[in-house]
Structure 1
Amino acid sequence: MIRLLLVAVLTLLARPADAVTLEMNGAFTQGGIIMGRTDPDVKLTLDGRPVRVSANGVFVLGFGRDAEPDAVLVAKGADGTEERKALKIAKRSYNIQRIDGLPQKYVEPKPEVLARIRRENAKIGKVRKIDTDRPYFAEGFIWPAKGRISGVYGSQRVLNGVPKRPHFGVDVAGPVGSPVIAPAGGIVRLAEKDLYYTGGTVIIDHGHGLSSAFLHMQTVTAKVGGEVKRGAQIGTIGATGRATGPHLDWRINWFDVRVDAAVLVPPLPPKN
């Protein structure tokens, strides 16, 4: 499991009494998630994209699987002073598996299934646009399940020469019925028992566009609109949807940017 963890404390505006100090902690790498704090009245943008700053100055941002090596963070102070900070994003290597000779039905869904997939994807996409002002994420994260890591972020299959979508989650293998808990507090924005690809699926909004998705669940006990605390059970591990065995696929998004959940938590301890 790749865990590139850096800490940066950046002073963006000279050093007068009204200087703006920006503190950031996280993985400055492809798939990385950065949490930080600044003055509440500072306006932040990342490569032109607004970054929400909470009433107490907390913020979060993320970088995609194939993020460019350079990003620009702009901080605008209350007095209108603007500073630009260049961020260096480390490149990662991913496991690419090539499989040839598969029947075409295993490469693409049948046409009659595509309409359902589009409807479900639209529902998920709508949830991921939500920008809740409360920074639940700031309390930190724990693993949502216990077990063996059976899949990692960024891996990809090439089927019959056609590159498929990369895997954007971390997979935790475990027996059917094992508990799945909320890794951090938040609001349940989606709770579905039977999506085509992901089966039993829950999405928790952790604030500021950061959301966790939990896929292939056997049971879903979380309720849409409900507020959950870190450690609260939201369902159980299963093998629903397009799964080859029982496991939890845990994914995190920063809005539409797919980031690596594994950078938020320590390595899982080995099972006895």
Structure 2
Amino acid sequence: NVFYNCIGMGIYVNHTKNSIVRYNLIYYTGSSCWRVSNRAPAGIYITDEAGDNIIQNYLSENHQIYGNLIANAGKSILLGSGAHNEYDPALINVDIYNNTIVFPRDNGDDSSRCISVDPSEKHSTSNIKNNLCWTTSGLSANAPNNANITWDYNLWAIEPNDSDAKGINDPSYAAPKLAKVSGWENIVPGTLNYSDFDLQDGSPAIDKGSDLSEEFTNILNCDWVDWDTSEFPIGSQKTQGDGWEIGADIHVENETVFKPKIKPLLTKVSGFKIISPKN
């Protein structure tokens, strides 16, 4: 799925369990978010707004968020309490793995982040690993001081502003060396595609991730897109290189870039309208 120029959120998951959010391209979520002016909406928002004021009903459990490409969103991945933070909703067994997040949209209010987690004493067994965050602002994470959320093996372009987001196995801070090297701050809606997120030879994200074979084995190959069948190219981390990549792309050394001769047939979502590109 491709989502851009949305005035709400790219993807919103609320008061539910056992969701998988994967293999989406989400970018340029706009300058104003629904009822909040002058703030870019989130790319992926996982929350719990039960609405019935029963404390024990506030729960967000057993979600997997992986293989997503996000650029120019406000809080690119937001795990939050929505309008009901007084009920201290919890994230239980929520895994955020192998997402590529580029230049969160800065509206001048210091609200943009690659990954943002609202504080809660009830968080339990949640993991944030193998994610790539490329921003030059330094405002890359909101990480509650909670031992039940594990941050590790994430690549930050510069040191994250929140020390609780640092992992002991994070690689050294460095730009990720993506195929698209500039212009991320001023993306024109409708122009970005998967190959822009392809890892280039020598990227510090290559072979530096944690082996997550027990969680999942397949991930995107951003450099080779099968436009004709409208399918994502999926590869196995086990068959390429010496280890898992950080981010959403599997890197193939010295791979020849595939250039599609036709326009993509993927359905795109712009704002609240669903459109299909014409040939």
TM-score by structure 2 length? 0.22
Mark the structure with the bigger radius of gyration: 1
TM-score by structure 1 length? 0.22
